[in-house]
A and B are shown apart, each in its own frame.
Chain A
């Protein structure tokens, strides 16, 4: 989104230097952990256990081979993918309907609904964790439905943060797409649902993509629910990465290699799609 033209007065040299220094320092601040992650993931265990070295004395890809067998990283990866993916799809689909209703119809209870949704976004996760834990344990004991420790249960808890966000963002987004579009579609013979799927949803694709990215990223990085609501079989990456430390040693090179492996897909996806996120945030949140 480059600005088409510069301000008429060229910035003074002092400004240019301030800019170089500040932005340079920020780039270093941002990238040092990334560098540490990459360089340490290519070191031997001996190297990462001793004094830190900026330049690895020898490079090895062994950590990238070992990460899969030290802990069942593949399974954790799959669990994270299923849980984050399902939470994203559920919250986006349900939010599309809800946000369309709120954005296009005036009905009784509309304000109560929007305020409820908005306020649950600010609630701390810990507030829901304890009761949900108890409810899940209780349902398991009385009906035998194992929500506690299951992927389904974890997906449900992830909706506590992804659903309100999705609804809220999409209301803002639908509000900013002109009503005339779907009114025209309805005049042309579409029902309300036809208008939603043929006109409103296609016009709101950037917003929907933004919400989906955001929901997926948050779920992919979630730690609180994952650390309580999973067992060995359903553990996600967030908890699984702790498995590289033993009583006596932390395999820092493997920790860094695994961190990089779980980060690369989301970071690339995010950077490719961040344009949509910016558009979506402008339309949704910043209003």
Chain B
């Protein structure tokens, strides 16, 4: 646990840092001491103050809250909330009781959702980027088209999907029921089990362009000569992708997958706009679950405990991921 220890190692008094590279002879605009030791801290000061204000202090408060019985009676006077010890955490992880059971369900849903959505986004984005590596007529236009889901404000895009997924007047049911005749009764997409599929499709629609963008950028750093050499050796399309493109993209992919994972796992906007009120059980992502259980019952202590657990999980996964990818890179 780090929290309260702020990284603010304010300017070391009297330029303790060894002067780098010997003394220069120019007239000092700022006193020598400030220029050598203090300037970086001065430049960092606004960022440091804000970091403390918007990240470190709220996190400290959040951890504090998670050990308190912070119910609706104490919202206005939260310092008076009684100490709860580990009770909030105990309730959150007790899978035999309703709260823990619901949290476990939403955690599992989020894991499945994240794996599938990140996998699909990566696959589609990479495929599109590789297929568009060579120039062809209309490539620029197509690229701009592919970036539209990424550029659209989340709520505008997702609300459109929610309209498309309406049972009676939506496009999706019109196509599969009225036009293709695949089923007779019109399925609900925003309720019950189907909501997971709906959420997955919408989230993937929204995030694959980011993968496309990053992989496209990564492809530009692969020297054309590698492909020419491979072509002379008689390597076909697929072998070039396998032996040149994908290995060269590995460092890019490692960052990309981690970023996609974190965004998708923490996604709140998509389910919140898609399902408006409460998300159905099959699509109850963790961040929306914590949000709804906190504001529905005004039990902020319990909500904070869940947030802290979520954070610990993300830290653990990220640490393991970084260790694994770094080791592979070294060997």
Contact = CB atoms under 8 A, between A and B. Distances in A.
Contact of B43 (A100, A125, A262): A100
Interface in A14-66: 15, 18-19, 22-23, 26-27, 29-34, 36-37, 40, 48-52
Nearest to A242: B276
B145 A27 contact: yes
Nearest to B139: A2
B40 A107 contact: yes
A230 interface: no
B291 A30 contact: no
A248 interface: no
Contacts, number: 309
Contacts of B273: 223
A61 B77 CA distance: 51
Interface string B308-322: 101100110010000
Given A120-B51, A122-B318, A156-B53, A108 B12 contact: yes
Contacts of A5: 224
Interface residues of B, number: 116
A97 B30 contact: no
A131 B61 contact: yes
A116 B51 contact: yes
Given A126-B307, A263-B156, A271-B151, A135 B47 contact: no
Contacts of B145: 27, 30-31
A241 B155 CA distance: 8
A203 interface: no
A2 B139 CA distance: 9
A231 to B, nearest CB: 15
Interface residues of A, number: 111
Interface string B77-119: 1100000000000000000000000000000000000000000
Nearest to A49: B169
B55 interface: yes
Contacts of B315: 119
B171 A127 contact: no
- Chain A CB within 10 Å — which of B12, B153, B157 has the most? B153
A97 to B, nearest CB: 4
Given A107-B40, A137-B76, A192-B39, A278 B318 contact: no
A261 to B, nearest CB: 9
A128 B46 CA distance: 20
Nearest to B29: A191
Contact of A221 (B154, B310, B318): B154
Contacts of A122: 262, 266, 314, 318
Given A11-B237, A138-B78, A285-B255, A22 B311 contact: no
Given A27-B145, A137-B76, A271-B144, A255 B163 contact: yes
A259 B29 CA distance: 53
Given A278-B213, A286-B252, A156 B54 contact: yes
Nearest to A274: B147
Contacts of A120: 51, 55
A286 B300 contact: no
B72 interface: no
Nearest to A9: B231
Nearest to A223: B269
A125 B47 contact: no
Nearest to A95: B47
B51 A117 contact: yes
B41 interface: yes
A2 B128 contact: no
Given A52-B174, A160-B55, A223-B272, A134 B300 contact: yes
Contacts of B39: 101, 105, 192
Interface string B41-52: 101101110110
A197 interface: no
A250 to B, nearest CB: 8
A267 B151 contact: yes
Nearest to A245: B276
B122 to A, nearest CB: 14
Contacts of B174: 51-52
A204 to B, nearest CB: 15
B280 interface: no
A133 B132 CA distance: 46
Given A98-B47, A107-B40, A125 B128 contact: no
B290 interface: yes
Given A102-B40, A137-B76, 17 more contacts: A29-B205, A30-B145, A33-B149, A51-B168, A52-B174, A113-B7, A120-B55, A124-B286, A126-B290, A135-B58, A141-B76, A191-B30, A223-B154, A245-B276, A259-B157, A259-B159, A267-B152
Interface of A: 1-9, 11-12, 15, 18-19, 22-23, 26-27, 29-34, 36-37, 40, 48-52, 94-95, 97-98, 100-102, 105-110, 112-113, 116-117, 119-135, 137-138, 141, 156-157, 159-160, 163-164, 167, 189, 191-192, 217, 220-224, 227-228, 237-238, 241-242, 245, 252, 255-256, 259-260, 262-263, 266-267, 270-271, 274, 277-278, 281-282, 285-287
